[in-house]
Structure 1
Amino acid sequence: MVTVKFIWDEEADRALSLPAYESAGAAGADIRANLADRGEITLAAGARALVPTGLRLEIPHGYEVQLRPRSGLALKHGVTLPNSPGTIDADYRGPLGVIVMNAGSEPFTVKHGERIAQMVVAPIVQARFELAETLSDTVRGAGGFGSTGRS
């Protein structure tokens, strides 16, 4: 088991829970909006906002945290994360905010304490990059988008 440490921002509502898995088999832990004024943020259709969580985190070296949309908000309201998955690096210690976008056709209000995204803790591998004279051949070759067919 990996431990991710959190601290509260000064203005955070500490009565709200830390990110939490909502079921025994959940891959993502839900994150809540933690608004300093305990109010709400209304997003017009097509608008986006940085929603604070009131948290800062320490991710173990060799891991990242990915922020992903909540499927229910996406399906029912068109609310998503435009940079999904958003990556938080292990050496970041600033405020944890979530970029939320209303891709729906109606305004959407993010309320204080509402679950707005999910976070997945994942191992990372850093690669070595090198310039080569040639690349190996494959059956696919240079075939790009849609080159392997539709079904």
Structure 2
Amino acid sequence: MPDKFEREIEEILAKLDDDLPADGKGTTRSPISLTQKRAQKARAQRMRTAGPNPFAKLNPTTLLFAGAGMVFGGLIASGVWSPAIWVAFAGVVVFIGAFFWSFKKSDRATPATARAQGTFWRDRYINDRSGDGGIKDRFRRK
């Protein structure tokens, strides 16, 4: 059995040697485009130098806890300083806003450009929705 595999490998290698051009010219491959790689590196550099976004980690859970903390802190502080009750009211507003925000479908895990219609696979955009407006699109889960 191993002899059979060895013979097949030798045959394949012999065919490959016959098919290759001797001078290295005449290949049908196109040269690798370095402009896309340079553009990707430039974008990454801009993102690094742009500075961190303080609101990037802001989510409904964080706001719910912040609102609850503002309510309790404002209620406790209002015993000493009466205008602090407005902090409690602001906490209620933040809490309610975060509560409604938590019902919104969040797709933060995907890139912003991929959220629109498709996704990226092997650094290329793939449109995975047909968008023909047919009956299937009407009942498709979004």
Taking structure 1 as the reference length, what is the TM-score of the superposition? 0.18
Structure number with higher relative contact order (C-alpha < 8 Å, ≥ 6 residues apart): 1
Give 1 or 2: higher strand fraction.
1
Give 1 or 2: higher helix fraction.
2
Structure of greater Rg: 2
